[in-house]
Amino acid sequence: MYSDFNSLKKNLKKEFSCKYKLKVAVLGDSATQLLCIALKGFALENRIDLSIYEADYNQIHLQLQNPQSYLHQFEPDYVIIFENHKKLASNFYVTPPDTKPCFAQEKLQEVESYHAIVSHSLNAKLLYFNFLEVDDAIYGSYTSSYVGSLLYQTRLINIGLMQLAAKLSQFQLVDILSKQAQYGIDYLFDFKNYIKADMVFSLESLPLIAKIIVDQIKAQLGIITKCAIFDLDNTLWGGIIGDDGVEKIQIGNFGIGKVFTEIQYWAKELKKRGIILCVVSKNTENIALEPFLKHPDMILKMDDIAVFIANWDNKVSNIKKIQQILNIGFDSMVFIDDNPFERNMVKENIPEILVPELPEDPSEYLAYLKSLNLFETTQVSSLDENRTEKYQTESARLKHASLFKDEESYLRDLNMIAQVDPLNQYNLPRASQLTLRSNQFNLRTLRFSEEELLSYKNTEGQFVINFSLKDKFGDHGLIAIILLKELNSNQLFIENWAMSCRVLKRGMENFIMNTLVDFAAKNNYEELVGEYIPTAKNELVKNLYPSLGFEDVFNNQWILKINTYYQLSTTISNNL
């Protein structure tokens, strides 16, 4: 589902309407020119305009350590460092035998020093390649047991890099090692090009490597897949439930049934990770439900499905219904269906949605889906496991809303109660997640890791306020975060306001505004200052500040005078 190298190269001469512009520096100990071409071309296809600084060959240390280098002047958003396995081996071979067992440890310390410079001096994010693993056949089978072998030390480095990525903020791995396991080293490494031009990667593999990098950048920008919509017949099980009956569909540990069992296990793990699972099937609903309720080998249960739609309407209309319930963008969805006709119909009518072209052979479905890396993320939280339940509850709310003639009556009937809390150890994970994942209701689209949020809170003159909401149907949990910064003794700046779209049109904006004004008044501020920074996805909040009583200053900046503010109407009460 991605272009070859020549197509990516041609993209550099085409006009693209890009939603994002970023600066990326690429440093390597081998030739990186073709990698940069592939990276820029692939980013353009994803509507990201990368301004790339490619350092001269083998200047990693010089560029990083010299504050006057062009790297520091360039002020990149991301620094990509590629050190290849061949140079690693050369360095290993000239290491004295008695210090070879420490080779990995020393290399990891060096990588940590890279990160320190990139994150602190450059205020950028580091993307660092792990190493291809090659047995030099010096110790035979004993190489995996011998601490002084190249393979042993390379594996220690790769394990250490994973641990660094888990420990350090603004550090991510470009995991080419997993691609070696998937495709083989001959696919990735071109020995002839390495000898001739010191280029490590094959032309064939460059689009894949560019995709790994761009996927991570997209996730940092909040461009992630949040929902997987599955067909049923010959997708989650083999056979046609309406024709074969629940006893004869293919699912379980025998024959082709294994294929669909593995797909369901995969989907279940996605659900646990926070991906919203939905079903759209052309079936009679009670028949489509039977496997979930009766078949003993079904891995997925109805509790795993946020929205289940089985009828004889066209799937485009049903997917649009799901989008309305979930209130997320179509570009955050993937539609998985074995039928080419249904796939084409959805692609033609909802071009934003991602529709994988499944192979004809069901035994190849799962490997193909995994190869696409559909569900990139920047963090995992225990809170993600509850996401399906929240959307199931939201579906019930929407059905309940249809019983009322006007919105005001419905909102009052919900008995909504909000809770206001400072940032603490309990709400920190969700607060960070809101800044990272929210795109539509995000006034300035600033992203904060947990570590960065804590640092923000602990800085004098800066405040973090979190808002939670519950009603008669259930608890939404933490749904909004406000970051405030003192500009001077009179003015308090709303540095960012991010909120879950699940609670739009409930009056939460008014409740939050009332709370902010009270906070500012109690702390003797006379004005609140807000700013709206447009992105490709946040037009929803373009007019938020004027609707809340702010006056336009200039260039999407707004001011509210505290002493002229009147409390806004809301049906939400405060849990004091």
Same domain, yes or no, for 169 and 24? Answer: yes
pLDDT at residue 152, rounded to an integer: 97
Tell me whether residue 381 is in a domain.
Answer: no
Q: Where are the beta strands (DSSP E) in 237-369?
A: 276-282, 307-311, 333-336
Find the range with the poorest average confidence among 41-45, 131-135, 392-396: 392-396
d(CA 257, CA 148) in angstroms, rounded, equals: 46
Number of domains in the chain: 3
- Per-residue exposure over 372-400, b if at least 16 CB sit within 10 Å of its own CB, e if not: bebbbbbeebeebeebbebbbbbbebeee
pLDDT tens-digit profile of 273-284?
A: 989 999 999 999
Cα 234 to Cα 249: distance, rounded to the nearest angstrom: 9
Q: Identify whether 347 is part of a domain.
A: yes
494: pLDDT strictly greater than 70:
yes
What's the confidence (pLDDT) of residue 1? 62
Examine the domain organization and report whether 212 and 245 are in the same domain: no
Compute the 3-state secondary structure of the chain and give helix, strand, coil in percent, each to the nearest 5.
45, 20, 35
- List pLDDT tens digits, range 417-467: 999 999 998 899 999 989 988 888 999 999 998 889 999 999 999 999 999
The predicted-structure confidence for 292-342, as pLDDT tens digits, reads as follows 999 999 999 999 999 999 999 999 999 999 998 888 899 999 999 999 999
Q: Please report which confidence band the pLDDT of residue 382 belongs to, taking 50, 70 and 90 as the band edges.
A: low
Residue 383: inside a domain, yes or no?
A: no
pLDDT in the model for residue 166 = 92
Q: Which two tokens stand for residue 346?
A: 């959805």
- Average pLDDT score over residue span 553-569: 91
Contact of 454 with 499, CB cutoff 8 Å? no
Read off the pLDDT band of 385 (50, 70, 90).
low
Q: Identify whether residues 259 and 326 lie together within a single domain.
A: yes
Whole-number Å distance between alpha carbons of 173 and 164: 9
- pLDDT, mean of residues 77-96: 97
CATH code at position 237: 3.40.50.1000
In 75-230, alpha helices (H): 85-93, 103-116, 150-167, 176-183, 185-188, 191-197, 206-220
Is the domain of 199 the same as that of 238? Answer: no
Interval 263-272 mean pLDDT: 96
pLDDT tens-place string over residues 172-226? 999 999 999 999 999 999 888 889 888 999 999 999 999 999 999 999 988 899 9
Average pLDDT taken over every residue of the chain: 93
In this model, does residue 576 exceed pLDDT 60?
no
pLDDT at 193: 87
Q: Is 70 exceeded by the pLDDT of residue 360? A: yes
101 and 216 share one domain: yes
Give me the pLDDT at residue 564, please: 92
Nearest CA to 232 out of 305, 294, 283 is that of: 283
Comparing CA positions, the residue from 452, 431, 528 lying closest to residue 484 is 528
In this structure, the answer to whether residues 206 and 331 fall within a common structural domain is: no
Which CATH number do you get for residue 87? 3.40.50.1110
Q: 123 and 39 share a domain? A: yes
| Arithmetic mean of pLDDT, 84-109 | 96
Residue 255 belongs to domain spanning: 227-371
Mean pLDDT in residue range 21-46: 96
* Residue 3: per-residue pLDDT: 85
Question: Which pLDDT value is given to residue 379?
Answer: 76
Identify the band that residue 390 occupies on the pLDDT scale cut at 50, 70 and 90.
Answer: confident
Chosen domain end from 356, 371, 386 = 371
Q: Which one has a higher pLDDT value, 27 or 169? A: 27
Same domain membership, residue 216 and residue 200: yes
Q: What is the pLDDT of residue 403?
A: 87
Same domain, 265 and 320: yes
